[in-house]
């Protein structure tokens, strides 16, 4: 039986990427930058995990400029504040099936954790806006990108979640929306179910134990994997 579910956040718990993109675009002018990330461009930029890393990649590969000339850390801090404001407006719901999956797992004693590239304030903003409680009231362990040396697709953040849970990879199931997330979970020895998001529907999900189009379709997957002991 699976002892814990480990969730990615952006694109998995909720379709947050447009809010992240809007927060970046709202923040750039404050630093004298005329950058604007379109939806198509952002889809490409998401191949680089981490907001600071994404800005670095954009500067190098799209603009051909030295990222050292860009105040990446300061931009990212202000962007995080703006993202929290956008999320607090309540316009980004949890993806269908997520709330019931969390509630059912909790009721049956399956432990809950997060392994994400984003930071803890962003996770907390989303959970407060969608569930009305702090993220730490829902998830026993929150492993975030700024806590590890290497972000997804490296296994570091999943390894950190396993350490916090004191469980082995084979005791857990990861829920992801992207190829980078899938590779990260697999590298940590964790089986992974993928539900593609609006920005990752063209990714290659070879190696996932299942690919579903909605988390509402997880009933058959969880039963097949003996996720829940019958009530």
143 and 215 assigned to the same domain:
yes
**What integer pLDDT is reported at residue 1 of this predicted model?**
81
Find the helix packing angle between 72-88 and 120-131, rounded to 10°.
10
Residue ranges, the chain, pLDDT below 50: 224, 226, 228-231
| Side-chain-side CA neighbours of residue 113 (13 Å) | 28
**What integer pLDDT is reported at residue 219 of this predicted model?**
64
**What integer pLDDT is reported at residue 119 of this predicted model?**
96
**What integer pLDDT is reported at residue 12 of this predicted model?**
98
83 and 113 assigned to the same domain:
no
170 and 104 assigned to the same domain:
yes
**What integer pLDDT is reported at residue 225 of this predicted model?**
53
Which structural domain, as residue segments, surrounds residue 189? 4-14+93-227
126 and 206 assigned to the same domain:
yes
- Residue in 184, 123, 207 with CA at minimum distance from that of residue 193: 207
**What integer pLDDT is reported at residue 218 of this predicted model?**
72
DSSP-derived letter for residue 190 is -
59 and 109 assigned to the same domain:
no
Give the chain's domain count: 2
- Whether residue 182 contacts residue 208, with contact meaning beta carbons closer than 8 Å, is answered with yes
**Which residues belong to the active site?**
8, 10
**What integer pLDDT is reported at residue 230 of this predicted model?**
39
Using one digit for the tens of pLDDT, what is the confidence trace for 22-74?
A: 999 999 999 999 999 999 999 999 999 999 999 999 999 999 999 999 999 99
* Rounded alpha-carbon distances, angstroms, from residue 221 to 95, 225, 227: 17, 6, 8
């Amino acid at each position: 039986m699976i002892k814990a579910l480990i969730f990615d956040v952006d694109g998995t718990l909720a379709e947050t990427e447009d809010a992240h993109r809007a927060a970046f675009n709202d923040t750039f002018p404050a630093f004298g930058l005329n950058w604007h990330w379109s939806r198509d461009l952002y889809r490409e930029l998401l191949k680089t995990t981490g907001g600071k890393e994404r800005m670095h990649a954009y500067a190098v590969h799209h603009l051909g400029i030295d990222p050292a000339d860009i105040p990446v850390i300061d931009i990212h801090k202000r962007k995080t504040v703006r993202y929290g404001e956008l999320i607090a407006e309540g316009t980004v719901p949890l993806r269908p099936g997520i709330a019931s999956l969390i509630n059912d797992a909790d009721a049956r004693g399956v432990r809950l954790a997060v392994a994400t590239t984003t930071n803890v304030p962003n996770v907390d903003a989303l959970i407060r806006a969608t569930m009305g409680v702090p993220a730490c009231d829902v998830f026993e362990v929150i492993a975030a990108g700024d806590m590890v040396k290497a972000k997804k697709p490296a296994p570091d953040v999943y390894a950190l979640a396993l350490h916090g849970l004191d469980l082995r990879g084979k005791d857990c199931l990861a829920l992801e929306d992207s190829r980078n997330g899938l590779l990260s979970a697999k590298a940590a020895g964790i089986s992974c179910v993928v539900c593609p998001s609006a920005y990752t529907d063209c990714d290659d999900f070879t190696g996932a134990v299942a690919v579903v189009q909605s988390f509402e379709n997880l009933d058959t997957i969880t039963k097949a994997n003996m996720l829940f002991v019958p009530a």
